[in-house]
Structure 1
Amino acid sequence: MHFDATFFAFVGLILFFVLIAYLKVPGMMAKGLDERANKISNELAEAKRLREEAQQLLTEYQRKRKDAESEAASIVAAAEREAAMLTAEAKQKTEEYVARRTLITEQKIAQAEAEAVQAVRAAAVDLAISAAEKVIATRNDTATQSALFAQAIGDVKTRLN
Protein backbone atom coordinates (compact mmCIF):
# COMPACT_ATOMS: atom_id res chain seq x y z
CA MET A 1 0.00 0.00 0.00
CA HIS A 2 1.21 3.16 -0.92
CA PHE A 3 0.63 6.14 1.27
CA ASP A 4 0.65 9.46 -0.39
CA ALA A 5 0.74 12.97 1.11
CA THR A 6 -3.01 13.22 1.36
CA PHE A 7 -3.13 10.24 3.66
CA PHE A 8 -0.46 11.74 5.92
CA ALA A 9 -2.29 15.08 5.95
CA PHE A 10 -5.47 13.24 6.88
CA VAL A 11 -3.70 11.34 9.69
CA GLY A 12 -2.16 14.62 10.87
CA LEU A 13 -5.58 16.22 10.95
CA ILE A 14 -7.00 13.30 12.95
CA LEU A 15 -4.11 13.44 15.40
CA PHE A 16 -4.64 17.15 15.68
CA PHE A 17 -8.32 16.68 16.55
CA VAL A 18 -7.47 13.94 19.06
CA LEU A 19 -4.84 16.15 20.68
CA ILE A 20 -7.32 19.04 20.90
CA ALA A 21 -9.93 16.69 22.43
CA TYR A 22 -7.33 15.22 24.82
CA LEU A 23 -6.22 18.67 26.01
CA LYS A 24 -9.89 19.67 26.37
CA VAL A 25 -9.44 22.76 24.21
CA PRO A 26 -13.14 22.99 23.31
CA GLY A 27 -13.98 23.02 27.07
CA MET A 28 -11.36 25.67 27.72
CA MET A 29 -12.67 27.70 24.79
CA ALA A 30 -16.22 27.30 26.03
CA LYS A 31 -15.10 28.20 29.56
CA GLY A 32 -13.22 31.26 28.24
CA LEU A 33 -16.22 32.28 26.17
CA ASP A 34 -18.52 31.74 29.18
CA GLU A 35 -16.23 33.83 31.36
CA ARG A 36 -16.09 36.52 28.73
CA ALA A 37 -19.89 36.40 28.36
CA ASN A 38 -20.26 36.64 32.17
CA LYS A 39 -17.78 39.52 32.26
CA ILE A 40 -19.67 41.33 29.49
CA SER A 41 -23.02 40.70 31.21
CA ASN A 42 -21.55 41.97 34.53
CA GLU A 43 -20.22 45.05 32.74
CA LEU A 44 -23.64 45.57 31.15
CA ALA A 45 -25.34 45.22 34.54
CA GLU A 46 -22.82 47.65 36.07
CA ALA A 47 -23.38 50.05 33.18
CA LYS A 48 -27.14 49.78 33.67
CA ARG A 49 -26.77 50.40 37.41
CA LEU A 50 -24.50 53.40 36.76
CA ARG A 51 -26.96 54.73 34.19
CA GLU A 52 -29.81 54.45 36.70
CA GLU A 53 -27.69 56.21 39.34
CA ALA A 54 -26.82 58.91 36.84
CA GLN A 55 -30.49 59.27 35.95
CA GLN A 56 -31.39 59.57 39.65
CA LEU A 57 -28.63 62.16 40.18
CA LEU A 58 -29.79 64.07 37.12
CA THR A 59 -33.36 64.07 38.40
CA GLU A 60 -32.20 65.17 41.85
CA TYR A 61 -30.03 67.96 40.42
CA GLN A 62 -32.86 69.13 38.19
CA ARG A 63 -35.16 69.24 41.22
CA LYS A 64 -32.53 71.11 43.23
CA ARG A 65 -32.02 73.53 40.33
CA LYS A 66 -35.76 74.17 40.14
CA ASP A 67 -35.88 74.68 43.90
CA ALA A 68 -32.91 77.06 43.71
CA GLU A 69 -34.52 78.96 40.83
CA SER A 70 -37.81 79.30 42.72
CA GLU A 71 -35.94 80.36 45.85
CA ALA A 72 -33.94 82.89 43.84
CA ALA A 73 -37.15 84.18 42.28
CA SER A 74 -38.76 84.57 45.71
CA ILE A 75 -35.63 86.33 47.00
CA VAL A 76 -35.70 88.68 44.01
CA ALA A 77 -39.41 89.33 44.50
CA ALA A 78 -38.87 90.02 48.21
CA ALA A 79 -35.98 92.35 47.39
CA GLU A 80 -38.12 94.18 44.85
CA ARG A 81 -40.96 94.54 47.38
CA GLU A 82 -38.51 95.78 50.00
CA ALA A 83 -36.94 98.21 47.54
CA ALA A 84 -40.40 99.50 46.61
CA MET A 85 -41.28 99.93 50.29
CA LEU A 86 -38.01 101.72 50.99
CA THR A 87 -38.54 103.95 47.96
CA ALA A 88 -42.09 104.77 49.03
CA GLU A 89 -40.95 105.38 52.60
CA ALA A 90 -38.09 107.61 51.44
CA LYS A 91 -40.47 109.52 49.16
CA GLN A 92 -42.94 109.95 52.00
CA LYS A 93 -40.21 111.13 54.39
CA THR A 94 -38.89 113.52 51.76
CA GLU A 95 -42.37 114.92 51.18
CA GLU A 96 -42.90 115.28 54.94
CA TYR A 97 -39.50 116.99 55.28
CA VAL A 98 -40.29 119.37 52.42
CA ALA A 99 -43.73 120.08 53.92
CA ARG A 100 -42.19 120.79 57.35
CA ARG A 101 -39.49 123.00 55.84
CA THR A 102 -42.12 124.82 53.76
CA LEU A 103 -44.30 125.35 56.83
CA ILE A 104 -41.32 126.60 58.87
CA THR A 105 -40.30 128.90 56.03
CA GLU A 106 -43.85 130.22 55.67
CA GLN A 107 -44.00 130.81 59.43
CA LYS A 108 -40.68 132.67 59.30
CA ILE A 109 -41.91 134.74 56.36
CA ALA A 110 -45.16 135.53 58.18
CA GLN A 111 -43.21 136.44 61.32
CA ALA A 112 -40.85 138.62 59.29
CA GLU A 113 -43.84 140.30 57.63
CA ALA A 114 -45.46 140.88 61.04
CA GLU A 115 -42.20 142.28 62.41
CA ALA A 116 -41.83 144.50 59.34
CA VAL A 117 -45.41 145.75 59.72
CA GLN A 118 -44.80 146.40 63.43
CA ALA A 119 -41.52 148.17 62.65
CA VAL A 120 -43.25 150.33 60.01
CA ARG A 121 -46.09 151.09 62.43
CA ALA A 122 -43.64 151.88 65.20
CA ALA A 123 -41.68 154.12 62.85
CA ALA A 124 -44.92 155.75 61.68
CA VAL A 125 -46.04 156.25 65.28
CA ASP A 126 -42.64 157.68 66.25
CA LEU A 127 -42.70 159.93 63.21
CA ALA A 128 -46.29 161.00 63.96
CA ILE A 129 -45.38 161.65 67.60
CA SER A 130 -42.35 163.70 66.71
CA ALA A 131 -44.34 165.62 64.06
CA ALA A 132 -47.15 166.17 66.54
CA GLU A 133 -44.65 167.33 69.16
CA LYS A 134 -43.19 169.84 66.73
CA VAL A 135 -46.60 171.08 65.63
CA ILE A 136 -47.85 171.24 69.21
CA ALA A 137 -44.68 172.90 70.39
CA THR A 138 -44.89 175.58 67.76
CA ARG A 139 -48.63 176.24 68.13
CA ASN A 140 -49.28 175.68 71.77
CA ASP A 141 -48.78 177.86 74.68
CA THR A 142 -49.11 176.90 78.35
CA ALA A 143 -52.89 177.18 78.40
CA THR A 144 -53.37 174.92 75.42
CA GLN A 145 -50.86 172.45 76.85
CA SER A 146 -52.78 172.29 80.12
CA ALA A 147 -56.05 171.68 78.25
CA LEU A 148 -54.46 168.96 76.08
CA PHE A 149 -52.89 167.37 79.16
CA ALA A 150 -56.28 167.30 80.89
CA GLN A 151 -57.92 165.87 77.77
CA ALA A 152 -55.24 163.14 77.48
CA ILE A 153 -55.73 162.16 81.13
CA GLY A 154 -59.48 161.96 80.53
CA ASP A 155 -58.94 159.79 77.46
CA VAL A 156 -56.66 157.48 79.42
CA LYS A 157 -59.23 157.19 82.25
CA THR A 158 -62.04 156.35 79.84
CA ARG A 159 -59.90 153.75 78.06
CA LEU A 160 -58.77 152.15 81.30
CA ASN A 161 -62.32 151.83 82.65
Structure 2
Amino acid sequence: MANFSLILSEAAGEAHADPTAFGLDATVWVSIAMLVFLGILVWKKVPAALGAMLDGKIAEISKQLKEAEQLRLDAESLKAEYEAKLARAAKEADEMRARADAEAEALVAKAKEDATALIARRKQMAEDRIAAAEANALAEVRTAAAKAATDAAAKLIADKHDAKADKALIDDAIAAVAKG
Protein backbone atom coordinates (compact mmCIF):
# COMPACT_ATOMS: atom_id res chain seq x y z
CA MET A 1 0.00 0.00 0.00
CA ALA A 2 2.88 2.32 0.68
CA ASN A 3 3.98 1.72 -2.88
CA PHE A 4 0.53 2.61 -4.11
CA SER A 5 0.46 5.90 -2.14
CA LEU A 6 3.97 6.67 -3.32
CA ILE A 7 2.90 6.07 -6.91
CA LEU A 8 -0.08 8.33 -6.42
CA SER A 9 2.01 11.08 -4.84
CA GLU A 10 4.59 10.87 -7.57
CA ALA A 11 1.81 10.93 -10.11
CA ALA A 12 0.41 14.04 -8.49
CA GLY A 13 3.85 15.53 -8.41
CA GLU A 14 4.04 15.88 -4.65
CA ALA A 15 5.87 13.82 -2.16
CA HIS A 16 4.33 13.23 1.24
CA ALA A 17 6.15 12.37 4.32
CA ASP A 18 4.79 9.77 6.73
CA PRO A 19 3.54 11.33 9.97
CA THR A 20 5.80 10.86 12.96
CA ALA A 21 5.78 11.87 16.60
CA PHE A 22 8.93 12.06 18.61
CA GLY A 23 10.66 10.50 15.65
CA LEU A 24 8.52 7.39 15.72
CA ASP A 25 6.12 6.48 12.93
CA ALA A 26 2.53 5.20 13.40
CA THR A 27 3.49 1.50 13.37
CA VAL A 28 5.81 1.96 16.34
CA TRP A 29 3.16 3.94 18.26
CA VAL A 30 0.57 1.23 17.64
CA SER A 31 3.05 -1.39 18.84
CA ILE A 32 3.83 0.62 22.00
CA ALA A 33 0.10 1.11 22.71
CA MET A 34 -0.48 -2.59 22.29
CA LEU A 35 2.38 -3.46 24.67
CA VAL A 36 1.03 -1.00 27.25
CA PHE A 37 -2.47 -2.44 26.88
CA LEU A 38 -1.16 -5.98 27.30
CA GLY A 39 0.95 -4.86 30.29
CA ILE A 40 -2.15 -3.38 31.97
CA LEU A 41 -4.05 -6.61 31.31
CA VAL A 42 -1.28 -8.64 32.94
CA TRP A 43 -0.92 -6.14 35.81
CA LYS A 44 -4.70 -6.32 36.55
CA LYS A 45 -4.50 -10.15 36.33
CA VAL A 46 -7.07 -10.33 33.55
CA PRO A 47 -5.64 -13.57 32.11
CA ALA A 48 -5.97 -15.24 35.52
CA ALA A 49 -9.56 -13.95 35.80
CA LEU A 50 -10.31 -15.17 32.29
CA GLY A 51 -8.74 -18.53 33.15
CA ALA A 52 -10.75 -18.76 36.39
CA MET A 53 -13.92 -17.84 34.51
CA LEU A 54 -13.18 -20.42 31.82
CA ASP A 55 -12.33 -23.03 34.50
CA GLY A 56 -15.68 -22.27 36.19
CA LYS A 57 -17.49 -22.71 32.86
CA ILE A 58 -15.58 -25.94 32.23
CA ALA A 59 -16.51 -27.23 35.70
CA GLU A 60 -20.17 -26.27 35.17
CA ILE A 61 -20.25 -27.93 31.76
CA SER A 62 -18.52 -31.01 33.20
CA LYS A 63 -21.09 -31.11 36.00
CA GLN A 64 -23.93 -30.81 33.46
CA LEU A 65 -22.38 -33.61 31.38
CA LYS A 66 -22.16 -35.84 34.46
CA GLU A 67 -25.77 -35.06 35.34
CA ALA A 68 -26.81 -35.76 31.74
CA GLU A 69 -24.89 -39.06 31.84
CA GLN A 70 -26.59 -39.97 35.14
CA LEU A 71 -29.99 -39.05 33.68
CA ARG A 72 -29.24 -41.18 30.62
CA LEU A 73 -28.28 -44.13 32.86
CA ASP A 74 -31.45 -43.64 34.93
CA ALA A 75 -33.54 -43.49 31.76
CA GLU A 76 -31.92 -46.67 30.45
CA SER A 77 -32.55 -48.36 33.81
CA LEU A 78 -36.20 -47.28 33.75
CA LYS A 79 -36.51 -48.42 30.15
CA ALA A 80 -35.07 -51.84 31.02
CA GLU A 81 -37.36 -52.08 34.06
CA TYR A 82 -40.45 -51.24 32.03
CA GLU A 83 -39.41 -53.60 29.25
CA ALA A 84 -39.09 -56.36 31.87
CA LYS A 85 -42.51 -55.43 33.29
CA LEU A 86 -43.97 -55.46 29.80
CA ALA A 87 -42.44 -58.87 29.13
CA ARG A 88 -43.83 -60.19 32.44
CA ALA A 89 -47.25 -58.76 31.65
CA ALA A 90 -47.19 -60.36 28.18
CA LYS A 91 -46.13 -63.67 29.73
CA GLU A 92 -48.90 -63.44 32.34
CA ALA A 93 -51.42 -62.61 29.61
CA ASP A 94 -50.28 -65.66 27.63
CA GLU A 95 -50.54 -67.83 30.76
CA MET A 96 -54.02 -66.45 31.50
CA ARG A 97 -55.07 -67.12 27.91
CA ALA A 98 -53.73 -70.68 28.15
CA ARG A 99 -55.53 -71.23 31.48
CA ALA A 100 -58.75 -69.81 30.03
CA ASP A 101 -58.44 -72.10 27.00
CA ALA A 102 -57.81 -75.10 29.27
CA GLU A 103 -60.75 -74.16 31.50
CA ALA A 104 -62.98 -73.72 28.46
CA GLU A 105 -61.93 -77.12 27.13
CA ALA A 106 -62.53 -78.67 30.57
CA LEU A 107 -65.96 -77.02 30.76
CA VAL A 108 -66.86 -78.29 27.30
CA ALA A 109 -65.66 -81.80 28.20
CA LYS A 110 -67.59 -81.67 31.49
CA ALA A 111 -70.70 -80.44 29.69
CA LYS A 112 -70.40 -83.30 27.18
CA GLU A 113 -69.86 -85.75 30.02
CA ASP A 114 -72.83 -84.33 31.96
CA ALA A 115 -75.01 -84.43 28.85
CA THR A 116 -74.00 -88.03 28.21
CA ALA A 117 -74.73 -88.94 31.86
CA LEU A 118 -78.08 -87.09 31.70
CA ILE A 119 -79.02 -88.94 28.51
CA ALA A 120 -78.01 -92.25 30.12
CA ARG A 121 -80.05 -91.43 33.28
CA ARG A 122 -83.08 -90.41 31.23
CA LYS A 123 -82.75 -93.56 29.10
CA GLN A 124 -82.48 -95.67 32.26
CA MET A 125 -85.49 -93.88 33.75
CA ALA A 126 -87.47 -94.48 30.56
CA GLU A 127 -86.42 -98.15 30.53
CA ASP A 128 -87.37 -98.42 34.24
CA ARG A 129 -90.77 -96.85 33.50
CA ILE A 130 -91.28 -99.20 30.58
CA ALA A 131 -90.27 -102.18 32.75
CA ALA A 132 -92.60 -100.99 35.53
CA ALA A 133 -95.42 -100.50 33.04
CA GLU A 134 -94.75 -104.00 31.63
CA ALA A 135 -94.67 -105.47 35.15
CA ASN A 136 -97.83 -103.58 36.05
CA ALA A 137 -99.53 -104.74 32.85
CA LEU A 138 -98.35 -108.30 33.48
CA ALA A 139 -99.66 -108.14 37.05
CA GLU A 140 -102.98 -106.79 35.77
CA VAL A 141 -103.12 -109.56 33.17
CA ARG A 142 -102.30 -112.18 35.86
CA THR A 143 -104.88 -110.69 38.20
CA ALA A 144 -107.46 -110.66 35.43
CA ALA A 145 -106.49 -114.24 34.46
CA ALA A 146 -106.66 -115.40 38.10
CA LYS A 147 -110.02 -113.71 38.55
CA ALA A 148 -111.30 -115.24 35.34
CA ALA A 149 -109.99 -118.67 36.41
CA THR A 150 -111.51 -118.25 39.85
CA ASP A 151 -114.80 -117.17 38.38
CA ALA A 152 -114.73 -120.05 35.92
CA ALA A 153 -113.79 -122.53 38.66
CA ALA A 154 -116.53 -121.20 40.91
CA LYS A 155 -119.04 -121.55 38.08
CA LEU A 156 -117.83 -125.08 37.29
CA ILE A 157 -117.93 -126.06 40.91
CA ALA A 158 -121.37 -124.55 41.31
CA ASP A 159 -122.59 -126.32 38.19
CA LYS A 160 -121.09 -129.75 38.91
CA HIS A 161 -121.35 -129.94 42.67
CA ASP A 162 -124.57 -130.28 44.44
CA ALA A 163 -125.30 -130.77 48.13
CA LYS A 164 -124.51 -134.46 47.97
CA ALA A 165 -121.01 -133.82 46.52
CA ASP A 166 -120.41 -131.11 49.11
CA LYS A 167 -121.27 -133.57 51.92
CA ALA A 168 -118.72 -136.04 50.61
CA LEU A 169 -116.00 -133.34 50.37
CA ILE A 170 -116.73 -132.14 53.89
CA ASP A 171 -116.61 -135.69 55.23
CA ASP A 172 -113.28 -136.31 53.47
CA ALA A 173 -111.85 -133.05 54.90
CA ILE A 174 -112.99 -133.94 58.44
CA ALA A 175 -111.49 -137.38 58.15
CA ALA A 176 -108.20 -135.95 56.95
CA VAL A 177 -108.14 -133.52 59.85
CA ALA A 178 -108.97 -136.29 62.35
CA LYS A 179 -106.12 -138.46 61.10
CA GLY A 180 -103.73 -135.74 61.12
- Separation in 2, partners of 1:16, 1:31: 19
Partner of 2:85: 61
Partner of 1:93: 117
Partner of 1:19: 44
Partner of 1:76: 100
- Separation in 2, partners of 1:114, 1:80: 50
User: Highest CA radius of gyration, 1 or 2?
Assistant: 2
How far does residue 25 in structure 1 lie from its aligned partner after superposition?
2.2
The one of 26, 36, 45 equivalent to 2:69 is 45
How far does residue 55 in structure 1 lie from its aligned partner after superposition?
2.0
- Separation in 2, partners of 1:131, 1:47: 121
How far does residue 128 in structure 1 lie from its aligned partner after superposition?
0.5
Structure 1's unaligned 5+ residue stretches are 1-13, 143-161
The superposition leaves residues 110-152 of structure 1 with CA deviations (integer Å, 9 ceiling, x where unpaired) of 11111110000000000011111222236x987xxxxxxxxxx
Which range moved further: 59-68 or 123-132? 59-68
Partner of 2:35: none
Partner of 1:124: 148
The superposition leaves residues 88-127 of structure 1 with CA deviations (integer Å, 9 ceiling, x where unpaired) of 1111111111111211121111111111100000000000
Paired letter, 1:132 = L
The one of 159, 162, 165 equivalent to 1:135 is 159
- Give the TM-score normalised by the residue count of structure 1: 0.70
- Give the TM-score normalised by the residue count of structure 2: 0.63
Across the two proteins, how many residue pairs are aligned to each other?
A: 127
Paired letter, 2:142 = Q
How far does residue 15 in structure 1 lie from its aligned partner after superposition?
7.1
Which range moved further: 55-64 or 34-43? 55-64
- Separation in 2, partners of 1:120, 1:75: 65
Partner of 1:32: 56
Paired letter, 2:46 = A
RMSD: 2.4
Paired letter, 2:54 = A
Question: Percent of aligned pairs with the same residue?
Answer: 10
The superposition leaves residues 42-82 of structure 1 with CA deviations (integer Å, 9 ceiling, x where unpaired) of 01111111222222222222221211111110010001001
